Amino acid sequence: MSIHEVFMPALSSTMTEGKIVSWVKSPGDKVEKGETVVVVESDKADMDVETFYEGFLAHIIVEAGETAPVGSAIAFIAETEAEIEQAKSLANSDGVAANATSSPEPLPATASAATPALVSQNGSNHKEGRLVASPRARKLAKELKVDLTTLQGSGPHGRIVAEDIEALSNKGKQPATTPVAPPAPVPSSTPVAPPAPGTPAPIPAVAAVPGQIVPLTTFQNAVVRNMVATISVPVFRVGYTITTNGLDKLYKQIKSKGVTMTALLAKAVAVTLQKHPLLNASYSDQGIVYHSDINISVAVAMDDGGLITPVLQNADAVDIYSLSRTWKSLVDRARAKQLQPQEYNSGTFTLSNLGMFGVDKFDAILPPGQGSILAIGASRPQVVATADGLFGVRQQMQVNITSDHRIIYGAHAAAFLQDLAKLIETNPQSLTM
């Protein structure tokens, strides 16, 4: 008998359980080795999960919308049609693991711009007329009252993706409906970057009825676990005031070329970290881990709750224009839950920017596995005493670094902030070179 268990894969280093977004295949469908069978929501993104085996999807153990721990069985695949009934019997018995041939490794997963769709694919006997769309597309369709069954998807094999809904909305072809009011923003105790760097935006919130208890999303639960994990880390904080007149002038000059303030700040931090490798390091039981790359994570709020930290890799070496294009792509794909693991878990230093919300100063919580995080406040005009003893008005922002005191000390953090301020105040043009 050749019946295999499909396991809930570990799609990130922090993932402990996953939620089934949708099954691409139905019980009885033919599956090819390496073919996507299910879409899983991890603590970071929605991922297409492929199968190691060829055969038939015999039985689904965990239905769409349900969660399961990493490593637990979520379905059976039978190598022949004759074994489908045997697999169903196994699912109803207590000897599932003992009688099924299973692989101890989680299934490989890949992020795709589109999830499952309406038509047959890869030669399978997928049922005609079965509508499957990406989670983002379903959410948009619900908000805009769009009937998905009237659409032909533009994704691979006719998959319905968010762009299909947006294109229909822009053309005004969707059925006339009463506009859906956006949910009112709610306070958040976790510092995050605004959704669109450069312009203020409300913090996304999940709509709720007063008195109602809304379960945490997978993303929010991941944030909870990460924040609790940092409690045992001894941290300290150092604040610094930076004059931004030169940086603001530079930003106005190159903003029309697609440069964002987030990219400028990330570049400035990354260049400064070249002189301060300890601030780019992290603690381990074996000692201090000095990272070979300078990868800047930037906290971004998710539309449906929680946050994610897309990573600008090698930010010190990439030119500011490419860095800005990369940042825009990362944010767009983060909101569509399409980031690859390397794009959100490879950070070595984190930025959290609440300046666009007018926040003067705040403390950021140190992410697990990193040595420092820099909280950035708003740049405001301030009356200051000049070097010649007169008064002047300068644009200034307050930054506040939180560091792991097991490997980084106050003098290290202060020296880093001093050099960061020197770069921003006296030589911001170097960020474009």
CA angle 169, 208, 177 (to 5 degrees): 25
The first and second tokens of residue 48, run together, are 């297409």
Contact 2, 83 (CB under 8 A): yes
> How far is the CA of 361 from the CAs of 146, 375, 383, 411, in angstroms?
43, 8, 18, 21
Tell which phi-psi region holds residue 262, choosing left (phi > 0), alpha (psi between -120 and 50) or beta: alpha
Ordered DSSP codes for 165-179: HHHHHHHT-SPP-PP
What's the N-to-C CA distance of the chain in angstroms? 64
Contact 86, 1 (CB under 8 A): yes
Contact 146, 168 (CB under 8 A): yes
The first and second tokens of residue 414, run together, are 């202060």
SS3 394: strand
Catalytic position from the list 59, 157, 405, 412: 405
Amino acid at 322: S
Contact 91, 59 (CB under 8 A): yes
Q: State the pairing for strand pair 349-353/296-298.
A: parallel
Contact 182, 195 (CB under 8 A): no
Calculate the CA 92 to chain-centre distance: 37
Q: Which residues pair with 308 in a beta bridge?
A: 300
**CA dist., res. 187 & res. 90, Å (int):** 48
The continuous run of DSSP H or E covering 296 comes out as: strand 296-298
The question of whether 126 is a catalytic residue gets the answer: no
The first and second tokens of residue 156, run together, are 């691979």
Burial of 241 (0-12, 13-18, 19+ CB in 10 A): middle
Q: State the pairing for strand pair 55-60/30-31.
A: antiparallel
Catalytic residues: 405
